[in-house]
Structure 1
């Protein structure tokens, strides 16, 4: 009964903190009138051009490399604490697959061929799949997170927003930086980056990071590490200044993650072994190998041409591919009851041509053509040795490939109506075409498809050649579809004065339709019919302001979204196996508000705060049970997943000057409300919690040396970030969960030559 009071008191504290900043500023202004300084200008490229954060009529958060270094951010999931109405986490039983939600829109299911709802970009290149999308922070210039549909400039699958990872630019100056980190659980990180000029007009750069850590727990029955980290990532780049108006940039990056597969924590006592949940949530058992491999790599060639003072042209040519070989033990008892070995593989090629026009007086425009060609393949085996034990177990092999071709044309222009008012109009037309082949074979006996050495395990003929004729063919079909959509955008800005701007906007976005790659026609005869795209229409009203002589930045937005045909993956246990279906879950409404503020109280003391509130609910959802055909209205029973009602963060940083340099002390408290993991309530749902972090960083005079001490989750909060809920399954339950990082402390030493 005390929790609501506690939660509301925290909300009151957060609101009071934000509201009281101006009053505190006035007190400090009287006490330290000559000490406070204006905030630095923040530049972003949210509208495909460089401009001030305060001039962009978009809800966007920006984090520079120095911001992230100061608080010891290691990968992009830590940004969740500092972005309102956002969920950015490692996906369930993985180490480097991303689950991202913004304003209630995202995609939890990382199955191949499914589309994310939040677009991830590395230097203007779209990353189509969530595998390997938990990007490490190194050799970075900044990260921008755009909230709300970005369909006009960024295309399909950005209906929740977009996350832009911008790498460090090559300048031609000689630079070399080295940073080593040691910390809790035997953390051992090394990051090296540098660049130089080979001639007056040709620059090269490279960066590498080796990230190692022992496990937070262990597989008790085998003694192997659980939640460990074993990752190597690197990037090389080159820039050629062809002449004063043209340049060409090449980039290549690769990441190899060999961390062990992640073992889950059982929430219930096993009916088979009697095993009770372990006291340490990072301990588990497994009946499978813990070998795990995720490889991703990509290249890009970017050509820029400043045609004249007004016109510009850009070409972005890029390719990426990824490979995942992993094992998930859903039962986590050490007995071979419910095991899933899996392989994912994908590749993509993209080409974008972009034209910009700038008239210094009152008009600018950006437009272009975009082409995407991608194939995503996968296969997994559901291994059930205790099911039909008289036959020596059962293995269900499920796999296939989906080919996607997408073409889009877009344009957006802004016109300055007068000194105070400006109008932005834009639109994007996209045509998507998909073709998928799906197979699902049931074999008597046990085999592991990721140990069979098949050259193309996604080809059903290869599986048949390796394992013979199956006991039953559940699925073997080809399906697909094509979808087209025009996504408009309109925004009206009012510059009330030099420091305050108001805007109102309407944006539309859509996430592509597709085919259920787990489809089982023996359980659902219509599963080969493709599901429809998601559509989001969002109305937003916001304010961008700088107050108190530039010492306070206060940005806010309220939004209302009409969310149509949300794609929801439903998996249920039936006597013949797991029944999967992707629903277009009717209509829903999402509304809320966001506040972000930074306040320079004095020259050496800053406060930062963010507050997000969201009210997301289904208006109409009717679910048809595939096995029986019965129709059920679940509108009142379902809620939005990964969408806490309230999020806030309160932070500070204080600088102390010394004769040999300066020390920056920072800290924050990040709060997340109750979170439902899936649409239907389950034991996995996470109660509200807060995380406390602090950092102390010393910078030498001149900035060559830095030493940082970072403490995260200081109260050692246990909080779930995902799990699986299959209930009583094949003789035992499969209700298991995965957790965020425990308390950690790390020490980093860096030197810049």
Structure 2
């Protein structure tokens, strides 16, 4: 927890910064700050951006939160087609596909995140689609089609959003059915045999019933060659369809209904660069059916790779009264997942069973219901949001693991894990105008969560015996309850119509869970909730007649009981598992800018800086550090192996750097619209830089074992052309990672290091009708 001295200094800094902002505004001069325009007057000005970061519609420049917004045009010009692409466009957001799973995104915001997709752990960065929370991280990388905008909220979201998160939230807002018939068709082809089709059609049945149907189909051969079979790996074979209906029974009632089905086949199998050819190769040896005689159930014949199938239904019914809007938001989602992966490259002799294979067949169901009210009172000086939220989850995971060699295979686990969740919350937030310029915000959320775990060895399964009774006999609870309060406080000051400053303090909390990948009953250890306080000061400003937008945020946060892998002593034996070994202190800031220096030319950029370090180290980890340093001093190879470069103690016996928290990130995108007689040309150039970061828990700046990645430089290019003689047609050619740079992005061991995707290119045609 933050000490009283540190908290006092932090609060004084916040108040001092807030007090200094009026002087900053005066130095800018009255002619540089203008009222926010509801819409850009022409292409030489910036448009007003509407967001729902506080669960109601607001101009982005009026929101006292660290939030970034990308609209449909941004997504198209910047080639953002999957949620993983967001990592190159948001400051202090670092991520990649989870090891083995192309459908799972690992997000870290301001140093808080995790890499675990198993259902016994929750995510610190939540993903939402139209205000409906997606519980599981195993299928949060989905193709984006017919999206209105994406909002990324940095910092804990503990008050207004459906599920408490400690790192942040990614909110995807889909386009609603239009009252005008029309749509689009897009087709593309590119490197590695990629083909991509996307389409959407609005078909209003009447002025009271509006409908929309959208779909996409995406496939590629894969960019990795499996050495022992010649097969192509890490390709894509995915499709999705979504239907939406908007009912307008009266002028004051709007009912939005939606349903979708998404079938994704996308893996992230370990590979390396062949030094002879420069191609990507995989020396894993796994082949379908090689484990059929060792494991039970249909998972034993899983195909190599990863497949998820998801379908969902949602509704949002809104009833507008004079000074009040009532919403009922309901969501249901079901996801099935199958995968067969191996994270051990096994060079130079691939093993058909895999060296460390994982077989998975799982079913995940969630249902949520939220009632929300937004209103105004006290002569419109008070804007308030109140609500109730409920989420229920059922998760069933059939998991098989083992160890393979050229001479045989040993089953280390063939078990089924069932876990449930019931989450209840009530929340309220009010924004009250103390004066016409000064607004105070107070919010609070009361949450209660109940979790249950059941584990059993599969009938006929080999390997260790697992059972809920044996887990409980080891003293591990299989029922967890957590009640917590997460408040928010903020002050915002409108210096003039184009400049706002704010200070805020927010708390977030993420529930505890279990080590679901345990290989013994006494290792299904329960860990505690993760808690964080974050304090911010910020500025939101539009200058130079709406041609320059500057949004700046400075933050200080302390997380308690961070859920990471570390040493834990069980019956005198030190094992490494997910637990709560430390806190995390981080401070830094983000600057986002958008500038239109001349008509048609737009620069968008951001800088993120942070200083993340672990604090409040547990006694177990301190003992491990001492043991590592003693083993290094005496050159004790066994002591070095057991204590160094494990958990989050590095190879020199020091506390490692927090994972995926680079000190500096810089992002720049430039788009220039050139009008000619032949049509419109629109080139877009994107640049993404960070100065390197830990990719494994034991990574440090001088790490020699691969757990630290070098500074990364990535370029993206896109050229769009709208021919004058064919209205509504856009032709484009683009590339991602255009210079084909290779970087390490995930780490399991010195021989199991995951790389970023190579350069890709494509050509596209997009036609509106």
Q: Which TM-score bucket, shorter chain as reference? A: 0.7 to 0.9
Q: 2:76 matched to 1:42?
A: no
Distance in 2 between residues matched to 1:491 and 1:615, nearest whole Å: 24
- Aligned pairs for 1:615-634 (under 5 A) are 615-622=611-618, 624=620, 634=649
Matched residue, 1:482: 481
Contact 2:415 2:466 (C-alpha < 8 Å) held by counterparts: no
Cα distance, 1:515 vs structure 2: 1.9
Matched residue, 1:30: none
Q: 2:397 matched to 1:397?
A: no
Pick from 364, 382, 388 the counterpart of residue 369 of structure 1.
Answer: 388
Matched residue, 1:738: 754
Matched residue, 1:253: 260
Distance in 1 between residues matched to 2:162 and 2:587, nearest whole Å: 23
Contact 1:282 1:739 (C-alpha < 8 Å) held by counterparts: no
Distance in 2 between residues matched to 1:60 and 1:262, nearest whole Å: 30
Distance in 2 between residues matched to 1:361 and 1:316, nearest whole Å: 26
Distance in 1 between residues matched to 2:276 and 2:113, nearest whole Å: 31
Contact 1:156 1:510 (C-alpha < 8 Å) held by counterparts: no
Matched residue, 2:545: 549
Pick from 708, 715, 722 the counterpart of residue 685 of structure 1.
Answer: 708
Pick from 708, 733, 739 the counterpart of residue 709 of structure 1.
Answer: 733
Pick from 261, 270, 274 the counterpart of residue 264 of structure 1.
Answer: 270
Change in 2 beyond 3 A, CA 1:572/1:621:
closer
Cα distance, 1:545 vs structure 2: 0.4
- Aligned pairs for 1:148-547 (under 5 A) are 148-259=155-266, 261-265=267-271, 280-289=279-288, 290-306=304-320, 308-333=321-346, 334-335=350-351, 336=353, 337-359=355-377, 361-386=380-405, 393-439=410-456, 460=457, 463-464=458-459, 466-467=460-461, 470=463, 472-473=465-466, 476-477=470-471, 479-521=478-520, 525=522, 527-528=523-524, 530-547=526-543
For 2:45, what is the secondary structure of its paired residue? coil
Distance in 1 between residues matched to 2:568 and 2:357, nearest whole Å: 16
Pick from 91, 97, 112 the counterpart of residue 98 of structure 2.
Answer: 91
- Aligned pairs for 1:692-703 (under 5 A) are 692-700=715-723
Contact 1:156 1:430 (C-alpha < 8 Å) held by counterparts: no
Contact 2:126 2:134 (C-alpha < 8 Å) held by counterparts: yes
Matched residue, 2:37: none
Q: TM-score, normalised by structure 1?
A: 0.85
User: 1:291-332: CA deviations, max 9, x gaps?
Assistant: 5321111111111101x2201100011111111110112222
Distance in 1 between residues matched to 2:275 and 2:761, nearest whole Å: 31
For 1:78, what is the secondary structure of its paired residue? helix
Distance in 2 between residues matched to 1:233 and 1:571, nearest whole Å: 42
Cα distance, 1:276 vs structure 2: 9.8
Change in 2 beyond 3 A, CA 1:584/1:155:
farther
Cα distance, 1:685 vs structure 2: 2.3
Change in 2 beyond 3 A, CA 1:383/1:362:
same
Change in 2 beyond 3 A, CA 1:383/1:495:
same
For 1:221, what is the secondary structure of its paired residue? coil
Distance in 1 between residues matched to 2:260 and 2:540, nearest whole Å: 36
Change in 2 beyond 3 A, CA 1:392/1:50:
closer
For 2:660, what is the secondary structure of its paired residue? coil
Distance in 1 between residues matched to 2:415 and 2:624, nearest whole Å: 23
Distance in 2 between residues matched to 1:703 and 1:75, nearest whole Å: 28
> Please, which runs of 5 or more residues in structure 1 have no aligned partner?
1-21, 27-33, 268-274, 440-459, 728-734
Matched residue, 1:669: 687
Contact 1:227 1:282 (C-alpha < 8 Å) held by counterparts: no
For 2:73, what is the secondary structure of its paired residue? helix
For 1:154, what is the secondary structure of its paired residue? coil
Contact 1:519 1:580 (C-alpha < 8 Å) held by counterparts: no
Cα distance, 1:394 vs structure 2: 3.5
Change in 2 beyond 3 A, CA 1:396/1:42:
same
> Please, which runs of 5 or more residues in structure 2 have no aligned partner?
1-27, 33-40, 289-303, 473-477, 628-642, 700-704
User: 1:460-490: CA deviations, max 9, x gaps?
Assistant: 3xx12x337x565587436121001110001
User: 1:114-142: CA deviations, max 9, x gaps?
Assistant: 10001100000000001221121211100
For 2:127, what is the secondary structure of its paired residue? strand
Pick from 608, 611, 617 the counterpart of residue 612 of structure 1.
Answer: 608
Contact 1:474 1:521 (C-alpha < 8 Å) held by counterparts: no
Contact 2:338 2:360 (C-alpha < 8 Å) held by counterparts: yes
Change in 2 beyond 3 A, CA 1:472/1:304:
closer
Cα distance, 1:88 vs structure 2: 3.1
Contact 1:189 1:209 (C-alpha < 8 Å) held by counterparts: yes
Matched residue, 2:6: none
Distance in 2 between residues matched to 1:518 and 1:580, nearest whole Å: 12
Distance in 2 between residues matched to 1:467 and 1:623, nearest whole Å: 38
Cα distance, 1:94 vs structure 2: 1.1
Change in 2 beyond 3 A, CA 1:520/1:42:
same
Distance in 2 between residues matched to 1:109 and 1:187, nearest whole Å: 29
- Aligned pairs for 1:56-75 (under 5 A) are 56-75=63-82
For 2:764, what is the secondary structure of its paired residue? strand
Change in 2 beyond 3 A, CA 1:137/1:156:
closer
For 2:765, what is the secondary structure of its paired residue? strand
Moved more, 504-513 or 739-748: 739-748
Moved more, 115-124 or 470-479: 470-479
User: 1:92-116: CA deviations, max 9, x gaps?
Assistant: 2111111111111112111122100
Matched residue, 1:135: 142
Matched residue pairs, number? Answer: 676
Distance in 2 between residues matched to 1:578 and 1:228, nearest whole Å: 40
Distance in 2 between residues matched to 1:392 and 1:84, nearest whole Å: 45
For 1:239, what is the secondary structure of its paired residue? strand
For 1:131, what is the secondary structure of its paired residue? helix
Distance in 1 between residues matched to 2:537 and 2:515, nearest whole Å: 37
Q: TM-score, normalised by structure 2?
A: 0.83
